[in-house]
Structure formats: C-alpha cells, structure tokens
Amino acid sequence: MYVDPASAPARKPVTVPDLRTMKAEGRKIVMLTAYDSSFAAQLERAGIDVALVGDSLGMVVQGHRTTLPVTLDHMVYHTAAVARGLSATLLIADLPFMSDRDTAHALEAGARLVGEAGAAAVKIEGAAPHILDAIGALVDRSIPVCAHLGLTPQSVHRFGGFKIQGRAQEAADRMLAEALAVQAAGADLLVLEGVPTALGERITKALQIPVIGIGAGPHCDGQVLVIHDMLGVTPGKRPKFSKDFLAGRDSVAAAIAAYAEDVRSGAFPAPEHCFN
C-alpha cells in the first residue's frame, strides 16, 4: 500500500549538521536502510532520522551473496525511489564497489547520487589513501560524506568472510587511527560495523563526528540496521547484532516505531546483540 508522506505530521528536515548537534546533546541518531519508496515513506512516518540506501540491497533485494555485484546505476535507481518517499528524513546513499576506485570516479558517483538521485550525502568504505583523497574531494565539492569502517562488506574477500574486526589490540589501535583519519579528511559521520563493544566506545569517544553503530555496541551515537533484518524477512539466520522488531507486533509501522524508540532510549542494542 502506498503511504503518502504528506499525510505524516510536519517535521523539521534533518540536516547533516543536525547530526553533530545530536551527538553533542547526547541524543541518539536512528538510521535504517530503505530501498524503495514505500518503505522510505514508512521511515518518514516513524520519524527515522536517517535513511540509508545501502549496497546491502545486493543481498536483501537482489539475492546476491555479497554486496559486490551492485552497480552505480542500481544505486542511483534505488536512491531516487527512496528520495521520492521522504521529506524530512535525511538520505544517504552508498558508493558501490569500485565506484570509489579513484577520486575522479568517486566524484562522478557522488554527483549522480546527490545531483541525479537526491541523496544528501554518500557513504564510502575504508580509509585507504585513495579513500581519504576521495573523502576530501567530495567534501570540497559540498558532498557530505559518511565514512564506514570495521566489517566493511566490500572487503569480504580480504577478511575471508563477514567476520568481526578489531578484536586484537593492534587491529583496534589501527581502526582508531583510521577513524581519526577519515574525520581529518572531512567525513561528517562514521558508520562502524561489526566491532567489539569496547572498541565502539573508544572510537565514539575519540571522534567529534557522530558514530553510527551496527554490531558496534550501545555506546555509539546512533544505530543502523538493515530493514529486512529488523523485520525478520532476511532469508537464513538473522545476524546476532540485529533484532526482529516485527515479532509480537502487528505491522511494519509498529516495528519501525519500536526500533526508533529502543535506539533513542538505549534499550537497543542489548548485550545479546553485541560482541566482545
């Protein structure tokens, strides 16, 4: 059923600078993925702060085993669809695999996702030198950037699977250095995925920019989940860091509202969703 976002109560649009204010004020940021206009409208009605068009769409929408087959055209198509369902919720879109292989390609991808599809910011994985250059170049051209560290899915083959990152002291120290580097390069926020709770807390405290966790513990400035995981419709086993918010509730709207409430109150993630 189509839900007209115009029927939702008016809400002040969430901006990129608002997210830093929310961190400073200790207000948790609620982020959730969306891939189409109908679900985007559900996020809008629930007052979700940030919608992420993740390249996770390759897995949960297209049925691939990894995010690697997702192309820039796919991302532009889904981002434009999500943009049509939103009004106040901030929209961030992923730079897909290899669209950030050099600064020129990253700028081209950012221009399409923001200029053509309607995102307000783009997300980019890693902290390699060419990624730091791309972050600086995007920000210089007024495209805000969300960095992404930890279990970055585009590096699945290098990691040897979807494995928790930063468990060893040396790896944790390196990830903190990378987080400081993406911040220094100009990133406006950071998604931190699949790391021990203690490292999530350490990085969140060390950064001025907001840190949004997914499997990174309760101390992050906000949380993000893949919507299919939190509605319990992802085929196979639900990831440990997620929770089925539809279980025991009678609608998608109620599930999304419960997720937002639990993130804002700090009830989610609970210890069973976290890693040591």
Helices (H), the chain: 16-25, 37-46, 57-60, 72-85, 103-111, 129-140, 156-159, 169-185, 197-206, 227-230, 252-265
Respond yes or no: is residue 193 known to be catalytic: yes
Position of tokens 């791309």?
Answer: 134
Q: How far is residue 30's CA from residue 265's CA, in Å, rounded to a whole number?
A: 11
Nearest CA to 192 out of 147, 240, 226, 143 is that of: 147
* Residue 70, amino acid: V
Binding mask 65-104 for ligand KIV (x = CB under 6 A): -----------------------------x----------
Q: How far is the CB of 110 from ligand KIV (least distance, A)?
A: 16
**DSSP string computed for 46-98:** HT-SEEEE-TTHHHHTS--SSSTT--HHHHHHHHHHHHHH-SSSEEEEEPPTT
**Does 197 help bind ligand KIV (rule: CB under 6 A)?**
no
* CB nearer ligand KIV, residue 124 or residue 258: 124
Compare residues 191 and 252 and give the one whose CB is closer to ligand KIV.
191
Could you tell me the smallest distance in angstroms from the CB atom of residue 7 to ligand KIV?
A: 27
> How many other C-beta atoms are found inside a 10 Å radius of the C-beta of residue 21?
11
CB of 121 to ligand KIV, least distance (A): 13
Residue 30 pairs in a beta bridge with 223
Tell me whether residue 191 or residue 203 sits nearer to ligand KIV (CB atom).
191
Under the binding rule (CB under 6 A), the answer on residue 226 touching ligand KIV is: yes
For position 204 contacting ligand KIV by CB under 6 A, the verdict is no
Nearer to ligand KIV, 68 or 111 (CB): 68
Site string for ligand KIV, 22-61 (x = CB under 6 A): -----------x------------------x-xxx-----
Residue 51 β-bridge partners: 32, 91
Cβ nearer to ligand KIV, comparing 55 with 262: 55
The single residue of 193, 201, 261, 272 carrying the catalytic annotation is: 193
Residues in 230-259 that interact with ligand KIV by CB under 6 A:
none
Separation CA 180–CA 74 (nearest Å) = 31
Q: Which residues are catalytic?
A: 193
Query: What residues make contact with ligand KIV under the rule CB under 6 A?
Result: 33, 52, 54-56, 94, 191, 193, 214, 224, 226
